[in-house]
Structure 1
Amino acid sequence: MEQVYQLKEKGNQALAWGKFDEAVKYYTKAIALDPQNHVLYSNRSAAYAKDENYTAALADADQTITLNPTWSKGYSRKGSALAYLGRHEEAIAAYEKGLELEPGNEQLASGLAEVKKQAAELQVKTEQLFEKLREHPKTKEWMNDPEYVKMVEKLARNPFDVSVQNLVTKMKEEKITTTIGIMFGLDLNVPMDVDQPAPEKKAEEPPKKEEPEKPKYEDLPQDRRLALQEKDLGNDSYKKKDFENALKHYQKAKEHDPSDITFYTNMAAVYFEQKEYEKCIKECEKAIDVGRENRADFKLIAKAFTRIGNAYKKMEQWKLAKTYYEKSMSEHRTPEIKTLLSEVEKQIAEEEKKAYVDPVKAEQEKELGNDYFKKGDYSTAVKHYTEAIKRNPDDPKLYSNRAACYTKLAAFDLGLKDCDQCCKLDPKFIKGWIRKGKILQGMQQHSKALTAYQKALELDPSNQEALEGYRACSTQLNSNPEEVRKRAMADPEVQQILRDPAMRCILEQMQQDPQALQDHLKNPDIAAKIQKLLESGLIAIH
């Protein structure tokens, strides 16, 4: 098992340095010696993913889950690999399964949110592509073929997926080249660098006698003809931004033919340009009633709902805007409306977030977090610091405090994220840089840790904690792993920790089941000893 541990540590170090091929080799050797170790497959999955070999990353993630189906990190690895492969629905299912096992895991939650966002964007792109293919003279007939539609969906999701290639081989070359050409805005049927043949000269036809142009709308009933003529005059005035005359012409059009929805929506468009949003809304509501009564095209009704949504958006009544965009989508679903709806939903979330801000309550939650931190109950402390951040998201100290909890819980990736936010909010907050250095040191990323300590020393050259961290990282960077190990083993404090039978048992358990570490870290004494081993470079947690 000692050899497995050493190979795993070498793999972790190679991964941290960005040597992904090397990391895969070390993990593969370790797996050969200990094929039931799910952590090794998880780490190799991460290395494959970093190396952009997502198929192999997925295979290792599946094996991780097979070996330990209750370990949430396996589902995180699987979700990530599936997302990169464009298999968003499966990725969402993987992240949701992980969250069932560990509901408070922020890495799984953020991964789920990101893949849902990717899936929504892909849906919009696919719908846009379908619209192009339905309108194109060559492809509109092909859209009736289920196999072709299936191929287009997969092509939009991931052109390099093996299943796409299998479908492509069944299709005619013309279909593939034409589809890809439309997809990327290219004409693949015209050979490059070849002069087009000159058009054949046609025999000159005798000039035709000019016939007088028929008056527009001549064949329509009088009221309908007059209504459309007024509409045309209104459109001309609208284009010239002569809104008063445009309104007069649209009003006359309505008087001649009150059953045409477009006269009402055009009038609403004028009110919108004049910033008369209430009038715009009322006119659109009339348009919808008229449209329903006269069985107007659902696209025109959707347009009226959209215009109401736009008016409410301008009035910053976000929830009403959302309601009418949703009504528009129920009539006629388009990428443009979906984008508008997403923008409004984002604005609503932002407003709710601002409304929740309360610095006084944030301070109360921070104090509760501090109390639980002192008791060694880091998970509960995290909950209170998280609530404090929601109440006051611009306070860098709150992120620093939560990062300290994550460090104690060995959730270094989340701690590092908080340190980055802390330093972004206040680049002169020295504790944020020191805490970032310590986390990177624990992750064996000594070069990055050195940079963090340098930032801290720029702010306070005499800070003892920053100086010690800087020296330790410099030593680590200039030593090979064996020297680091020897130096750590020579430290009396490290020797005492390793002689402790309980600590040896915990370290062995960490290799087999990293999830069990979370329970041990609730004990402040054990957490301090593990922190010492991390800082010595003897162990690393990923």
Structure 2
Amino acid sequence: MSADEYKAQGNAAFVAKDFTKAVEFFTKAIEASPSANHALYSNRSGAYTSLKQFDKALEDALKTIEINPTWAKGYNRAGAAYYGLGEFLKSKEYYEKTLEIDPSNAQAKSEISKIEQYVGNSAEQEQANDLFKIFNDPNLIEKLKRNPQTAELMKDPALVDKVIRFKSNPQAFSQEFLQDPRLMTVFAALMGINLNDDSPVAPGASSSAAPEPATATPATSTSSEPAAEPTKDTEGDVEVKDAEPEVTEDASSKALADESKAEGNKLYKQRQFDAAIELYNKAYSIYPDVTYLNNRAAAEFEKGDYETTIATCEDAIAKGREIRTDYKVIAKSYARIGSSYLKLENYEQAIKFFEKSLTEHRTPDVLTKLRSTQKLIKEAEAKSYIDPAKAEEARLQGRDFFTKGDWPSAVKAYDEMIKRAPEDARGYSNRAAALAKLMSFPEAVKDAETAIKIDPTFIRAYIRKASAEIAMKSFSEALETLDIARTKDTELNNGANAKEIDSLYSKAYSQRFSTDNANETPEETLARVSRDPEVAAILQDPIMNSILGQARDDPRALQEHMKNPEIAKKVNILIAAGVIRTR
């Protein structure tokens, strides 16, 4: 089953609110997809969110953004997942990124408004986050049941149900806080406070429900930023130091490396690749930026040193993974490996690395290269299959099946003949004849046209095409095909096929103007056929009117005019239409 089919099943399951099944189908679609598809990860993220598996939803949302950073819905998915995890600041941040891409996105606007109304300013937001973490503890109720302060209270199912509801909406806790005094005791226990004692935890009570204590900070401090780590000087006194010099040194090294890279780029444009490579190496030795390795690989590629290019790109990928380089840079490395294998005519490996590049970052250029390489593989496979001797065996086999009236088997045999000898027009013409017997007339016309394209002198292909067109009631097209067939047959074969061509002419005309009314009068016939545009044009032609007038007075005059092919054609149309009656 294809990725699109699995996706459709996943969508159906999602609409039916069977989110577990939806996840299953979207997973299969992702596995079946030839390249990373952002929409599939987005859909699975939505299903995970509906199942409240927010960590998995977030993972898929971030993958969606990684594949297609310009797709607004991916950021919406991430916003929803972060919201579910209680990270409201992050949630708002991603919804705001949605609006950067799609300023009119109604969902993002609504969610941002809800977050702002729900948690207010950043200080309140941190409190909401803390509340969420406390109430989202999977062992919350058990801990409250074991805590001496709340053990008796938790025997009331109504209170337990209320606390459970706070797991999905912690902010509601503050709204009911004053309405139910017991909640103050529950909250105190969760915070590790005994309302009957000044100590952090009541004597002898379990502190398992309390959160980890924060590191103590001076009472006068108002900053939420962590203090710098204290260090000891040589005298043993404690002092605070800022670790700043290292950043300045990195920036200086990067600037110096970029200078070498810029010089290398100039030489690259001048096609002085060896000199450019030296400068890219220098840049990388000064500052380990993977971009310099990619530039070096580009120069090696232009030199035609494809094996070295591959090795350099592999180094770039390994280093990039180590230092968490932007996925777009990694994608370029993979793409260049693919291009190198393409030059080496190792198409399977080229496809493998183009697909890896698209998984990191989808670009039209790499997608085009992937499809072109896949096409090259198909063409190579087709060429390797060509065998004239086996094509002749298939032709004879097809002829036997055709003679016996086994049309499906004849089509299969001619299929094989075409694969073995794709430039032999007979294979397409013969298959057209078999397809016509199966009443597959459009396919028969297509095969006949292919045969004509391969060999424009192949009269049999014209005849088979015209026969199929008559069967489809495409009479004008059939007559045009027969006109070409007659001209070529006269030029090339001295009219050897004239009888068969004339028979098809007659068949096309008679079927074109046939009627079920055997007692139709000449006047009725003229009224009916005059609706045919070609007949109407002939009847309105003053020259033809003059010729027809002469024919009424002297029938022999018509025979003289019939020597002109154009006039003969028009007269035959009028005869077939019944305007001129020969009897």
TM-score (norm 2): 0.47
SS of the residue aligned with 1:296?
A: coil
Question: Percent same amino acid among aligned pairs?
Answer: 36
Paired residues in the alignment total 303
Counterpart of 2:351 (choices 322, 328, 333) is: 322
Aligned position for 1:285: 314
Letter in 2 for 1:306: A
Instruction: Supply the distance in 1 between the matched residues of 2:353 and 2:105 (Cα, whole angstroms).
Output: 31
SS of 1:131's partner is coil
Structure 1: distance between partners of 2:8 and 2:398: 32
Judged with a 3 Å threshold, the aligned counterparts in structure 2 of structure 1 residues 297 and 377 are, in CA distance, closer, same or farther, namely: same
**Secondary structure of residue in 1 paired with 2:319:** helix
What is the match of residue 284 of structure 2? 254
After superposition, the C-alpha distances for 1:376-421 in whole angstroms (9 at most, x for unaligned) are: 1111111111111111111111111111111111111111111111
Contact 1:322–1:344 (8 Å) recurs in 2: yes
Aligned with 2:506 (options 458, 471, 486): 471
Equivalent position of 1:145 in the other structure: 107
- Counterpart of 1:145 in 2: which secondary structure? helix
The question of whether the paired residues in 2 share the 8 Å contact of 1:372 and 1:378 is answered with yes
The answer to whether the 8 A contact 1:218-1:225 is kept is no
Tell me how far 1:278 sits from its aligned partner. 2.0
Q: Please name the residue that 1:301 is paired with.
A: 330
1:244 to 271, 274, 295: 274
Q: Which residue of 1 aligns with 2:363?
A: 334
SS of 1:410's equivalent in the other structure is: coil
Name the SS of the counterpart of 2:298 in structure 1.
helix
How do residues 147-162 of structure 1 correspond to structure 2 at under 5 angstroms? none
| Amino acid across the alignment from 1:248 | E
Tell me which of 298, 305, 324 is aligned to 1:276: 305
- Give the Cα separation in 2 of the matches to 1:297 and 1:131: 16
**Displacement of 1:432:** 0.4
Q: Distance in 2 between matches of 1:392 and 1:359?
A: 6
2:21 aligned partner: none
Distance 1:91 1:255, change over 3 A: closer
- In the alignment, the residues of structure 2 paired with residue 363 and residue 145 of structure 1 have an alpha-carbon distance, to the nearest angstrom, of 65
- Structure with the larger RCO, 1 or 2 (CA within 8 Å, 6+ apart): 1
State the Cα distance separating 1:320 from its structure 2 match: 1.6
- Superposition pairs of residues 45-444 of structure 1, within 5 angstroms: 131=70, 139-142=101-104, 145=107, 220=250, 223-257=253-287, 259-444=288-473
User: For residues 470 and 408 of structure 2, what CA distance do their matches in structure 1 show?
Assistant: 22
CA contact (8 A) 2:436 2:444 kept: yes
- TM-score, normalised by the number of residues in structure 1: 0.50
**Deviation per residue, 1:287-333 (Å, 9 max, x gap):** 11211222222221111000111122233322221111011122222
CA deviations on 1:252-273 (whole Å, 9 max, x unpaired) are 122223x321111110011122
Counterpart CA distance in 2 for 1:91 and 1:451 is 47
AA aligned opposite 1:131: T
Question: How far apart, CA to CA, are the structure 2 residues paired with 1:377 and 1:354?
Answer: 29
| Distance in 2 separating the partners of 1:355 and 1:323 | 22
Letter in 2 for 1:468: S
Larger Rg: 2
**Partner amino acid for 1:276?**
D
Query: How far, CA to CA, are the matches of 1:91 and 1:307 in structure 2?
Result: 31
Deviations 1:479-499 (A, max 9, x none): 34336999xxxxxxxxxxxxx
Are the equivalent residues in 1 in contact too, given 2:341–2:347 (CA < 8 A)? yes
Contact kept, 8 Å, 2:257 with 2:282, in 1: the verdict is: yes
Q: CA deviation at 1:222?
A: 5.2
Q: Which secondary structure does the structure 2 equivalent of 1:421 belong to?
A: helix
The verdict on how the C-alpha distance between 1:333 and 1:146 changes in structure 2, with shifts beyond 3 A counting, is farther
Q: Residues 146, 448 of structure 1: CA spacing in aligned structure 2 closer, same or farther, 3 A cutoff?
A: farther
Q: Is the 8 A contact 1:449 1:473 kept in 2?
A: yes
Question: What is the CA–CA distance in structure 2 between the aligned matches of 1:312 and 1:384, rounded to whole Å?
Answer: 37
Does the 8 Å contact 1:438/1:449 carry over to 2?
A: yes
> Residues 68 and 361 of structure 2 are in contact (CA less than 8 Å); yes or no, is this contact kept in structure 1?
no
Distance 2:341 2:518 in 1: 64
Instruction: Give yes or no for contact 1:476–1:484 (8 Å, CA) kept in 2.
Output: no
For residues 489 and 471 of structure 2, what CA distance do their matches in structure 1 show?
23
Structure 1's unaligned 5+ residue stretches are 1-87, 94-115, 149-216, 487-535, 537-542
User: Could you list the per-position Cα deviations for residues 410-463 of structure 1 after superposition, in whole angstroms to 9, with x for gaps in the alignment?
Assistant: 111111111111111111101000111111111222211111211221122432
SS at match of 2:516: helix
- RMSD, matched Cα: 3.7
- When residues 409 and 347 of structure 1 are mapped into structure 2, their CA distance, relative to the original with a 3 A threshold, is same
Shift of 1:341: 1.1
Closer, same or farther: CA 136–260 of 1 in aligned 2, 3 Å: same
Judging changes above 3 Å, is the alpha-carbon distance between structure 1 residues 358 and 377 closer, same or farther for their aligned structure 2 residues? same
1:481 aligns with 2:515: yes
- Alpha carbons 1:423, 1:432 under 8 Å: kept: yes
In structure 2, what is the Cα distance between the partners aligned to 1:438 and 1:232? Answer: 69
Structure 2: which 5+ residue stretches go unaligned? 10-32, 41-64, 76-96, 111-246, 521-575, 577-583
Q: Distance in 2 between matches of 1:354 and 1:343?
A: 16
